[in-house]
Structure 1
Amino acid sequence: MDKVVASAAEAVADIGDGASLAVGGFGMSGVPTVLIAVLLEQGATSLETISNNLGVDGFGLGTLLAAGRIRRTIGSYVGNNKEFARQYLAGEIELELTPQGTLAERLRAGGAGIAAFYTPAGVGTLVAEGGLPWRHHPDGSVAVASPAKEVREFAGASYVLEQALVPDFGLVHAWKGDRHGNLVYRRSARNFNPDAAAAGKVTIAQVEHLVEPGEIDPDHVHTPGIHVERVVHVPEVEKPVEFRTVR
């Protein structure tokens, strides 16, 4: 039951080329930066990431992006990353743009064993009708466009069918975790982490505070250990501020 591994490098050693990763975080909050850094050193390439965004230039998933290691990404927010915009417009990366709530639910459904679900988000737009540019040619023309999705009516309202996401790995950051993999997130760092943890076939959690089993009140657990395969203790982790506002 002890899921703690000796190092972050050991935890990500079996992430191979072409693997799909659900990565927690929102902007700079709750990002598993240590796991991302060792994955960069490890060398896996042609990755598919599922994350709200791809970090910012030089931070988080932005480092993998800049190294040309991400082939495709499913996300909701593409701002604040100039390299992301450049690669997308140049046809170097494929982007499946997804409404933010739909992205969270696709991950949650994957973790719950639900194959697909209907949602009103995107009805009457290219999200449902197809035609969103997933990948461009270098000349700017569309190389790959999103397909049309099934739309059905329930009680007089239209809903679009969205498929669940079950990636090969989940990478998450938690404030506290025990040796059984039970996790607690702190404040806004909770964001996409619980959904990414549940969805991943193999979930790796970096935790700031590692405690013994029984030290976390069961009522305080956000992610049960059944969803987590590996735990890495990261007592000192960088927490930069994305936007600093001063008087």
Structure 2
Amino acid sequence: IQLSEVLSWQFSTFAGRGLNKEQLDMLGKKLLDGPDGPDGPIHWNKFSKVRLRTRSSSVWIWIDGILDLIKKFVWELWRDGCIMGFVSKERTRSLLREKPVGTFLIRFSESIRDGAITFSWVEQSAGEKHVHAVEPYTKKELSVLSLPNAIYNYTLTTAGRSHNPLVYLYPDTPKDAAFARYRAAGTGRRSKRVVPLSDPTPPPSPPRDMPMTDMDLEYPEVGWRLLPVS
């Protein structure tokens, strides 16, 4: 049995939707480093012990944490295809730069072993498109703020004006059409991820010749963070 079949069956059985080829390729190339991706011959013992690059945790523990997150907090969103999930930062950057400003996608954190979820979006400043991501939402945070409400409540402040940069769910679905039916009434609690930006533009992306990392851009004066993706 191929590893790709096992992984897709696992998500289909326990999370309501299996994995497509692109998601499986991401898992194979990004995490397993196998030349043949998830279809290559990988022994279970190796798969269960191989470590994530950024954490002292096995790939299996990380995937199990994501399955648990889906079942407890975003099952309908995953089942209905609203969450892209397994997509690398590099692929996220490539996909969003080809889309209109305000387009966003939802993906799983690659570095938090217990499972976390984030969203990335494309904005434009000084004539160039930049892709940003919010600090991942953990299970603890999702237990008090649903992901749809987090998406609706997320705001940026520029020149004294606040706006929500999330307009279209990738590839081109209006936010209301994608999430309105999942939004819980009366649970619009704002999170710490409301990020005030300095005038007049969003924080610049790291230079293009620098490798993309999971490092946060720190704003000590307010204690909130915005993760650079581009």
**Structure with a larger share of its residues in strand:** 1
TM more than 0.5: no
> Smaller-chain TM-score range?
under 0.3
Relative contact order, higher structure (CA 8 A, sep 6+): 1
